[in-house]
Structure 1
Amino acid sequence: MDSCEDAATLEWWANRSACLGRLRVRIVVRTAGDDWTCEATLEAAEDRESFDFLMQLDPHFTLRFYDASILLVKVVEAGVGVVALVAELGLWPATGSATAARNGRDCRRLRQGSG
């Protein structure tokens, strides 16, 4: 199993032009063959109230990496302060290093932030 850690942003979009929340997270991606898992932790504890509010509205967020690649994810509570991110394939175009994560391959590219 290969794994890597990186910083990213969870964004909650009301529509294509209005982002109602941007939350900085630390992600851990683990790959095993074609399978992958991703967990995220909010970087700032004061973001928890905003995060909980947005989760009540809809648990679908855009995961944005610092190379501007994106992936639509469904957020699922996975423990105290930790959430699991599940790729919503086919609902949003994935680009760059998010594509590598989605395919469960080449975790090094994700960690290095290259597309």
Structure 2
Amino acid sequence: MDTYEGAARLEWWANRDTCLCSVSVAIAIVSDDSGWRVSATFVPPLNGEDREGWMFLMALSPYCTLRFDDDEDATVDVRVEEPSEGKLVLSAV
């Protein structure tokens, strides 16, 4: 089993020139024979207007780009689910 923990951002892009939102997260990736699983938490936790903006974007589309902080060129298109407030589950699309 391989694991990775690190910092990343979830980004919603209107087009290739306009980023609507970027949210910092701490991610944990686990890869094994059954595939890979990614969980994430907000860093820092979202409050107030930031939380409202997050909920608005999630209602529009749960699909965004995951960009790794330690390699700006490493991105993955993901679907985001939030089973409990602040706890995210990501899946590749």
Q: TM-score, normalized by length of structure 1?
A: 0.69
Given that 1:42 and 1:48 are in contact with CA atoms closer than 8 Å, whether structure 2 keeps it comes out as no
The CA distance in 2 between the partners of 1:50 and 1:6, in whole Å, is 24
Structure 1 stretches of at least 4 aligned residues deviating more than 4 Å after TM superposition: none
State the 1:30 CA deviation: 1.0
Normalised by the length of structure 2, the TM-score is 0.84
Output the amino acid matched with 2:53. S
* Secondary structure of 1:31 counterpart: strand
Q: CA RMSD in A?
A: 1.4
Structure with the bigger percentage of helix: 1
Q: How far apart in 2 are the matches of 1:78 and 1:4? A: 21
Count matched residues: 88
Structure that is richer in strand per residue? 2
Deviations 1:44-100 (A, max 9, x none): 223322211110111111000121111110101232311111101xxxxxxxxxxxx
% same residue = 43
For structure 2, the residue ranges without an aligned partner over 5 or more in a row are: none
Determine the structure 1 residue equivalent to 2:64: 61
Query: What CA distance in whole angstroms lies between the structure 1 residues aligned with 2:41 and 2:53?
Result: 14
Cα shift at 1:16: 1.7
